[in-house]
């Protein structure tokens, strides 16, 4: 299949590598950082000069972008070149309502839309071990399953368009809440003169053991605060999206408000582009 890929960053690089290994022809748009695209070009990917070229040359277009606003702008730019029978897969973490609106507009052109956000990070993208939460019609899900299988080991059809993004926001709320708890727990340990390494070693034997704990703290014990590669700004964005989802369902969001405050405070101090592990070292 000819796949257009937009968003070759930390996640996109590994995804494209595995799409190429799966035998797909991938045309990619360069990210701000050209290092990923140069590596992919050396491995048989092709560089597209414009979004219009992506729209005209692709059977399937994949988006791996940072916000719903950017997804909407990108789809608008693609729209003049789209044709009947194409499929757009949004692997970004986006707002479900925005996703449903886009899908409705594209359906009028005969273009199918699927939301397929992922669990896992750059390491899992590179090793083809991501999880995918997919929102799509049953027909679209069946059509894109071979594509998703190139970079994911666990793929679940969550329901119609928008369901995948709703599920991802719920998952990310749990993760961001755990990040905030780990950061505040170890800040308290520092002030209480509790040795981090001893505390961490024992926590691995208890219920507090988690992927978040290991990603954040294990590298930090040796002074590496880049262990969890997820920016503070993106974490805050996802919490905001989750709050909108929860409010729309009539749920109160006081806990989400408290989690959001942790990330907002870090961003206000100028740390938005740092990874969340830096909450341990602010």
Q: Which positions ≥6 away from 258 have C-beta within 8 Å?
A: 180
- Phi, psi (5° rounding) for residue 87? -130, 135
pLDDT at residue 176 is higher than 80:
yes
| Burial class (CB within 10 angstroms; exposed 0-12, middle 13-18, buried 19+) of 43 | exposed
User: How far is it, in rounded angstroms, from Cα 140 to Cα 127?
Assistant: 25
Quick: pLDDT tens for 88-115.
999 999 999 999 999 999 999 999 999 9
Average pLDDT over residues 257-274: 96
Domains annotated on the chain, with CATH: 2-161 (3.40.50.720), 166-281 (1.10.1040.10)
Tokens 């070693």 belong to which residue?
201
Tokens 């090793």 belong to which residue?
127
> Token pair of 38, please?
């140069």
Average pLDDT over residues 134-155: 98
User: How far is it, in rounded angstroms, from Cα 137 to Cα 173?
Assistant: 26
User: How far is it, in rounded angstroms, from Cα 212 to Cα 172?
Assistant: 12
Number of Cβ within a 10 Å radius of residue 44: 10
Q: Any idea of the CA torsion for 155, 156, 157, 161, to the nearest 10 degrees?
A: -80
Asked whether the beta carbons of 236 and 223 are under 8 A apart, the reply is no
Percent of the chain topping pLDDT 70 = 100
Task: Give residue 32's pLDDT.
Answer: 76
pLDDT at residue 136 is higher than 90:
yes
Handedness of CA 95, 97, 103, 106 (dihedral sign): negative
User: How far is it, in rounded angstroms, from Cα 67 to Cα 33?
Assistant: 18
Residue 32 has, within 13 A of its CA and on its CB side, a CA count of 3
Task: Give residue 63's pLDDT.
Answer: 98
Task: Give residue 34's pLDDT.
Answer: 87
> Token pair of 96, please?
């479900």
Interhelix angle 163-191/196-203, rounded to 10 degrees, is 130
Measured at the alpha carbon of residue 153, what is the angle toward residues 147 and 158, in degrees to the nearest 5?
75
When computed from its CA atoms, the radius of gyration of the chain, rounded to whole angstroms, is: 20
How many Å from the N-terminal Cα to the C-terminal Cα in the chain?
Answer: 46
Quick: pLDDT tens for 44-85.
999 999 999 999 999 999 999 999 999 999 999 999 999 999
Q: Any idea of the CA torsion for 180, 223, 93, 118, to the nearest 10 degrees?
A: -110
Task: Give residue 99's pLDDT.
Answer: 98
User: How far is it, in rounded angstroms, from Cα 236 to Cα 195?
Assistant: 29
**At 26, is the secondary structure helix, strand, or coil?**
strand
- Phi, psi (5° rounding) for residue 55? -60, -40
Adjacent-strand bridge partners of 63: 6, 90
Task: Give residue 282's pLDDT.
Answer: 66
Quick: pLDDT tens for 11-38.
999 999 999 999 999 999 977 788 899 9
Average pLDDT over residues 189-206: 98
Considering only the C-alpha atoms of the chain, give the largest distance between any 2 of them, rounded to a whole number of Å: 64
């Amino acid at each position: 299949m000819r796949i257009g890929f937009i968003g070759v960053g930390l996640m996109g690089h590994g995804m494209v590598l595995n799409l190429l290994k799966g035998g797909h022809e991938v045309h990619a748009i360069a990210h701000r950082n050209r290092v990923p695209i140069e590596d992919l070009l050396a491995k048989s990917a092709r560089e597209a000069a414009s979004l219009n070229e992506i729209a005209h040359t692709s059977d399937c277009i994949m988006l791996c972008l940072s916000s719903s606003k950017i997804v909407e702008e990108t789809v608008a730019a693609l729209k003049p070149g789209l044709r009947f029978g194409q499929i757009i897969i949004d692997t970004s973490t986006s707002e479900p309502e925005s996703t449903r609106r886009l899908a409705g507009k594209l359906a009028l052109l005969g273009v199918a839309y699927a939301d397929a956000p992922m669990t896992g990070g750059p390491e899992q993208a590179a090793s083809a071990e991501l999880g995918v939460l997919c929102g799509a019609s049953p027909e679209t899900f069946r059509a894109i399953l071979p594509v998703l299988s190139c970079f994911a080991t666990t793929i679940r059809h969550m329901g119609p368009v928008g369901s995948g993004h709703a599920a991802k926001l719920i998952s990310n709320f749990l993760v961001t809440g755990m990040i905030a708890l780990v950061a505040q727990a170890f800040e308290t340990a520092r002030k209480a003169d509790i040795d981090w390494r001893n505390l961490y070693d024992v926590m691995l034997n208890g219920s507090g053991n988690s992927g978040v704990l290991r990603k954040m703290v294990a590298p930090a014990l040796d002074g590496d605060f880049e262990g969890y590669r997820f920016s503070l700004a993106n974490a805050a964005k996802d919490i905001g999206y989750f709050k909108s989802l929860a409010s729309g369902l009539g749920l109160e969001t006081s806990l989400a408000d408290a989690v959001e405050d942790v990330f907002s405070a870090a961003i206000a101090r100028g740390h938005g582009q740092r990874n969340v592990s830096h909450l341990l070292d602010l």
